[in-house]
């Protein structure tokens, strides 16, 4: 991996991590919850945007390898929060909230796949690819 790619991923990761903290806090503050909706929201948003980017990368030649790494591995890799999701789910289980833990797992896993697919097929449709 070149130093330019490492720099692209690292700078994107900085932006994604800050964006994750901001969005997670914003969603958690605005939506009363027992389920960690901040993490869910960040995972769904990140998955949708990843679907959009991957489709765009596949059907256009606008972005360089470094730009693709910046956006996908850097920003979106740091934005989505599966390690946080895992710990929050474990805390729900340890707190005896098995139904909420199962809901959290299902919503994050399936919701993220559907969000990524939605973003991908939206761009594919818009580009008529």
pTM of the model: 0.86
Distance CA 122, CA 52 (A): 7
Identify which has the larger pLDDT, 82 or 44: 44
What are the angstrom distances between the C-alpha of 59 and each of 24, 28, 72, 116?
31, 36, 16, 16
Alpha helices (H) in the chain, listed in sequence order: 3-30, 37-59, 65-69, 77-79, 82-94, 98-126
Q: Please report which confidence band the pLDDT of residue 127 belongs to, taking 50, 70 and 90 as the band edges.
A: very high
- Position 83 scores a pLDDT of 81
């Amino acid at each position: 991996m070149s130093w330019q790619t490492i720099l692209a991923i690292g700078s994107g990761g900085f932006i994604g991590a800050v964006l994750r903290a901001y969005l997670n806090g914003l969603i958690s503050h605005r939506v009363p919850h027992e389920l960690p909706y901040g993490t869910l929201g960040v995972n769904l948003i990140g998955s949708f945007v990843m679907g959009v980017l991957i489709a765009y990368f596949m059907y256009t030649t606008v972005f360089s390898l470094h730009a693709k790494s910046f956006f996908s591995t850097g920003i979106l890799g740091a934005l989505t929060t599966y390690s946080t999701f895992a710990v929050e789910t474990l805390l729900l289980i340890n707190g005896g909230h098995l139904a909420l833990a199962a809901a959290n797992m299902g919503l994050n896993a399936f919701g993220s796949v559907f969000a990524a697919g939605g973003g991908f097929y939206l761009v594919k449709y818009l580009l008529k690819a």
